[in-house]
Amino acid sequence: CKMSVLSEYYAKLSDESKRRYTEKMRSCGIRNDPYVIENEQWEESPDIIPRLTWSDFMLYMISTPSPYTKESIKAWKGMLDGENFLKSGWVHGLRLTRFEIAGKVRYIIMGKVKHSQRLSATPLIPWTVV
């Protein structure tokens, strides 16, 4: 599918990062860059976040191939640290928006993540699709 709306964030990426970013969007079935989705399209209620199991996280954090090496990322420490970061307030401002692809409901989840080494720096705002 052709990407239609891309963000300022995208414009600042290197050519290789732009390629990976558009591939991530394409593989997730996203047409528009999540960073340009209007505020009123996002939900902030934790009740609508889809229920994920430990095995969902395990599959993603351990089995997902690295975009650089193509080998499993095996992010054991990241998987264990993630829950602690969320509970400790390092991850906050979670919000999501719903979309459908091939008849299946998907969610884009976005949140703010504090830097662990630069506490006064502007938080990162990553996104993922479940």
The confidence band for 75, taking pLDDT boundaries of 50, 70 and 90, is confident
Q: Is 109:130 a contact under the CB 8 Å cutoff?
A: yes
How far apart are the C-alpha atoms of 130 and 123, rounded to whole Å? 22
End-to-end CA distance of the chain: 19
The confidence band for 2, taking pLDDT boundaries of 50, 70 and 90, is low
What token pair was written down for 116?
């662990």
| Model pLDDT, residue 35 | 96
Look at the block and give the residue holding tokens 């989705």. 37
- The answer to whether the pTM exceeds 0.85 is no
Higher model confidence: residue 82 or residue 5? 5
Look at residue 97 and give its three-state secondary structure.
Answer: strand
The radius of gyration of the chain's CA atoms, rounded to the nearest angstrom, is 15
The confidence band for 3, taking pLDDT boundaries of 50, 70 and 90, is low
| Model pLDDT, residue 66 | 76
How far apart are the C-alpha atoms of 81 and 48, rounded to whole Å? 24
Q: What is the pLDDT of residues 102-114, one digit of tens each?
A: 898 889 999 999 9
